[in-house]
Amino acid sequence: MLYSSLSWEEIEKARKRNPVVILPVGAVEAHGRHLPLDVDSLIPFELAKEVASKTESLVLPVFPYGPCFSLRGYPGTISISPQTLSNSIYEICSETLRNGFTKILILNGHGGNFSPIKHALEKLDSEGEDFQGCVVEWWAMKELSELCKDLGHADENEASLYIHYAPTDLVKRAKQEERKSYVGSLIPQPDDVFGPSGYRGKVEKISRERGKKMAEIVVAKLVELVKSDLVLEEK
């Protein structure tokens, strides 16, 4: 299941059946006072492992860095450039293809990663590589829309999913804060787009039960996607 835990002989056997390879991509970023910096990396990695256990796909080590410009003002955030991320994903996927695996699911945990990741796959495609790639952001699944309305950053949805996989007492620090909304995407971004502690959204309903329901919904859809060899029609 975990790509890097296999020997080269096991990889040789695995590539003969050409399973889907899942690459979790995250970030090291502030998530308020109530969550750790690894939220965007841990969630896609844990989701990927669950999917792999149900589909015999392989999970690459998580790539834990992404562009995090809007939260660089908080201690701990490590931001890389979009170009660095795109180049890294391009090279990882290129090497995955060289090893004989032609179906790559990139499970993204950080919103700022999406465009650079997509650019990397588009570059591979323009070079004539024979592969099927798919980029998925877990929070964008329409099946979550009833349970998770008004998605934010480090909000009750993301926090609930995190503590489902990695319980932490930090969530006791969550207190509802005010923030402002603006028309369009402002650069530079005003400080009050996030609350004072660095999150956005509601935090009153954080619970492991909520996270468990979210995980079940997301994993079920991802399993369906993997079993369709990454070409799944939205209905």
What does the pLDDT look like over 138-153, one tens digit per residue?
999 999 999 998 899 9
Place of tokens 């993204």: 108
Split into its structural domains, the chain has a count of 1
CATH number assigned to the domain comprising residue 132: 3.40.50.10310
For residue 226, give the nearest of 99, 101, 91 by alpha carbon. Answer: 101
pLDDT at 189 over 90: no
Longest dimension (CA), the chain: 55
Q: How far apart are CA 68 and CA 226, in angstroms?
A: 29
Predicted TM-score (pTM) of this structure? 0.96
User: Are 40 and 66 contacting, i.e. CB atoms less than 8 angstroms apart?
Assistant: yes
Confidence band for 46, pLDDT divided at 50, 70 and 90: very high
For 61, the 3-state DSSP assignment is coil
For residue 222, give the nearest of 101, 55, 15, 18 by alpha carbon. Answer: 55
Q: What is the pLDDT of residue 147?
A: 94
**Across 124-148, average pLDDT:** 96
Structural domain includes residue 134 = yes
Confidence band for 10, pLDDT divided at 50, 70 and 90: very high
Structural domain includes residue 56 = yes
Q: How far apart are CA 52 and CA 57, in angstroms?
A: 5
> Which residues are within 8 A (CB) of 106 and not within 5 positions of it... i.e. 6 or more apart?
22, 23, 25, 89, 93, 117, 121, 133, 134, 135, 136
Structural domain includes residue 103 = yes
Structural domain includes residue 33 = yes
Q: What is the pLDDT of residue 190?
A: 87
